[in-house]
Amino acid sequence: MKRPLAAESPPPGSPSGAGTGPEQRRRDERSSSQLPWPRLLSWAKLQYPLAILAALGVLGIALSEAFWTSQNLTDLIEQSAVIGIVSLAELIVVITGGIDISVGSIVGLSAVLSAGVFHGSSLVLAILVGVGVGAALGAVNGTLIAYRGLEPFIVTLGMLSLARGLVYAYTRGVPVTPRAGNFGAPGSNAIGGFPVLGIIWIATAVLMAYLLYRTVFGRRLYAIGSNSRAAYSSGVPVRRTLLIVYLLAGLLAGLSGFLLSSYLGSGTPTAGTSYELDAIAAVVIGGARLSGGYGRVFGVVVGSLIFGVINNLLVLLNVSTYYQEVVSGGLILVAVTLAASRRSLN
């Protein structure tokens, strides 16, 4: 009786022999590299904010001749930069599973105080006061949340009222105008035709991306947002990390406050009003999950630009400020719906 020949066994490339040897694995790898559609589809699902931004850009060009002019685009970048930095502050908090609704009031307080202390050439002092006030209030938030175990929403709600009350107490409802000098330089100057505010925004986004994606601290934020108990069991200093997160969020809000007052040329009592809502919406539109554990810097930048384009269009079309609030609120609802739909498809 003859022994069966080796050729009679299923060849490595046949279905019954699939996955039985290194040759088949190499073939599978070559096949997957030749058909990148799954990867492209996965990438495209994350880019819906870009699609929204592109659609708004086309709409803007169609509705207003002034939209695609160099002056209007410069104004758009300058207006988006401040809320863009605030949105980055909100992003790092949301990644940990928390929320900070005090960032808008911190922006307002930092704006009026930095404008109030400015005297002639003391621009550095104005910056330090704005950033320092924001960091201090953020540290208070972080201490109460991380070490006292209080809910982020309740703590930051109290800080929202406290900071806004201090704004009205300091200004008495009257804008604070710097006496003289170069206070408005960061908010009005440009380098190579590109506004300084936009450069600061880009630099901040790059630093935040490096912090989140390339450092141990960034990995800790995602771990805490995914499962804080598991992160603690793995040796992550959860309390200290949360304190730093809220301190950093306050610092960025304080920087935004100084930049806003520099852009406007004064510290107004209403500065930063409802910025927390815009920031949360920009974070959600950018793909972050309010439950924590996920968020991208690029998505938040695009989300901030979406808000900037919408507000810019409403101004160009002479839409009433009352309807602007309606559009802003509707956009928040749309953002949450899109984010929920994307998660259900994953």
Q: Tens of pLDDT along 39-79?
A: 555 555 556 788 888 988 999 999 989 999 999 999 999 98
Helix (H, G, I), strand (E, B) or coil at 52: helix
**Cβ contact 98:292 at 8 Å:** yes
42 assigned to some structural domain:
no
What CA–CA distance (Å, rounded) separates 50 from 5? Answer: 59
pLDDT for 19 beyond 80:
no
The tokens of 161 are what?
């009222």
CA torsion angle 40 45 48 51 (round to 10):
30
**Cβ contact 260:184 at 8 Å:** no
CA torsion angle 44 46 51 52 (round to 10):
160
pLDDT for 30 beyond 90:
no
Average confidence (pLDDT) over 113-137: 88
Q: Which domain holds residue 92?
A: 53-345
Average confidence (pLDDT) over 277-286: 88
31 assigned to some structural domain:
no
What CA–CA distance (Å, rounded) separates 110 from 170? Answer: 11
pLDDT confidence tier of residue 12, bands split at 50, 70 and 90: very low
pLDDT for 116 beyond 80:
yes
69 assigned to some structural domain:
yes
Structure confidence at residue 184 (pLDDT) = 83
Q: Which residues pair with 176 in a beta bridge?
A: 267
286 assigned to some structural domain:
yes
Among 110-119, 247-256, 306-315, name the most confident range: 247-256
**Cβ contact 142:155 at 8 Å:** no
47 assigned to some structural domain:
no
Domains in the chain: how many in total?
A: 1
pLDDT for 194 beyond 80:
yes
Tell me the helices (H) and strands (E) count for the chain, helix number first. 15, 2
294 assigned to some structural domain:
yes
Helix (H, G, I), strand (E, B) or coil at 67: coil
pLDDT confidence tier of residue 36, bands split at 50, 70 and 90: low
Mean of all residue pLDDT scores within the chain: 85
Task: Give the side-chain half-sphere CA count within 13 A for 342.
Answer: 22
235 assigned to some structural domain:
yes
The residue type of 63 is L
25 assigned to some structural domain:
no
